[in-house]
Structure 1
Amino acid sequence: MADTPNAVGLARLHTVDVLSRWGVPPDVVETTRLLVSELVTNAVRHPQEGVEQVSAYSSRHTARTFELTLEMLWDAVRISVWDRDSMPPVLKEVGVEAESGRGIFIVAMMSRTWGCRPAVGMPGKVVWAEVGLLPIGHIGEDERAVRPLGRPPSAEPGIPRAGPASPNLLGRVLVGVREL
């Protein structure tokens, strides 16, 4: 996709369309849509270091591209966003008054696991997140019953699973997002 002002909205529409066709439960579709919005916003907004920033509406603006990939794993939906910027995202705690900087924090809180890796064979990085198809409290038992012996619980070896998010923390984040 081109990193134009409508890219985030188009990525959200595409996500809902694809996941609905795959029969993904509505609550997982909504969570995935939120994460796609945050990851694509980062790919569009955060420039490469040292590159002059020009408004997307300027005649000097050259559209760049990024790639959004949706994958259905046996127990999750994986979102991957490739962009040309090699700088990894920074997970930071932001105050309630902050006007930006919550994107990766929201990804970390709403996904069961997430990460960043250098792109293979091209410049930049891939930021990915997984949204579980099973309720958090039931993942362990269901995985043991279904997962083949020797298969790691996540498709990425060595990546820890996210624990249940604090309802107070999520509430503060949602209040802050609503105020934007």
Structure 2
Amino acid sequence: MNVPTPSVLYVASIRLAAAFAAVSLSREFIRRTLTAWELAEQIDGAQLIGSELVTNAVKMSGPAGSHVIGVQLRAAGGSLYVEVWDRDGGTPVIPEQSADAEGGRGLFLVEALSARWDVFCPAAPGKVVWAELPLGQKAEPVYDAEWALAEAAFGQRVLDGVRPVPLGLG
């Protein structure tokens, strides 16, 4: 029997106030995450795509800082996905481009830089706009001794949280 080999999957996400400061914070999140995943060659494209998607999400979220947006990076197999969630259910479209337009080029850039992009509408309110960047190679796990210690500590925290507390102590 052929058993499929699981592909390596990296996932990291951050939630930010829907304010224009989220754009620079998301760029830093993308840079640090991709550096840790040893995918530094993807930083420029992913930051530009992320900046455009986050800018659109902030614009669609209403008054500055009154809502939250989510930014997620996923590396699976041979692709890197930049995903941005906002609470607005509207579907973004690429507007007609004109030489004298002062804006409206964000999704045009996303389309030009990515292998593909689309919108996912979950059962929960809002939407996820995502873009796929080819990695050129499959993502390989990176062993980091410090991160392994952190994972062990997080795992222990979960286990300690589900164990019953003995009565009569203290």
Q: Which residue of 1 aligns with 2:146?
A: none
Mapping of residues 34-73 of structure 1, within 5 Å: 34-47=48-61, 54=63, 56=64, 63-73=66-76
The aligned residue for residue 98 of structure 1 is 101
Equivalent position of 1:175 in the other structure: none
Report the counterpart of residue 156 of structure 2 in structure 1.
none
Matched, 1:75 2:89: no
TM-aligned CA deviation for residue 119 of structure 1: 2.1
Distance 1:12 1:118 in 2: 24
Identity of aligned residues (%): 36
Please state which structure has a larger fraction of its residues in strand: 2
TM-score, scaled relative to structure 2: 0.68
User: Which structure has the larger Rg over C-alpha atoms?
Assistant: 2
DSSP-derived class of the 2:45 partner: helix
Number of equivalences: 123
SS state at 1:97 partner = coil
Of residues 103, 122, 125 in structure 2, which corresponds to 1:123?
125
Structure 2 portions without partners, runs of 5+:
1-15, 139-170
Structure 1 gaps, min length 5: 48-52, 57-61, 135-141, 144-180
Q: TM-score, normalised by structure 1?
A: 0.64
Whether the aligned pair in 2 keeps the contact of 1:84 and 1:124 (CA below 8 Å) is yes
Moved more, 4-13 or 88-97: 88-97
What secondary structure does 1:130 align onto? strand
Kindly report structure 1 stretches of 4+ aligned residues shifted beyond 2 Å. none
Q: CA RMSD in A?
A: 1.7
Cα pair 2:60 2:86 within 8 Å, conserved: no
Cα distance in 1, alignment partners of residues 60 and 97 from structure 2: 17
Matched, 1:132 2:138: no
> Does the Cα contact within 8 Å between 1:86 and 1:125 map onto a contact in 2?
yes
State whether residues 82 and 119 of structure 1, in contact with CA within 8 Å, keep that contact through their aligned partners in structure 2.
Answer: no
Indicate the residue corresponding to 1:10 in structure 2.
25
Q: Residues of 2 paired with 1:10 and 1:93: CA distance?
A: 29
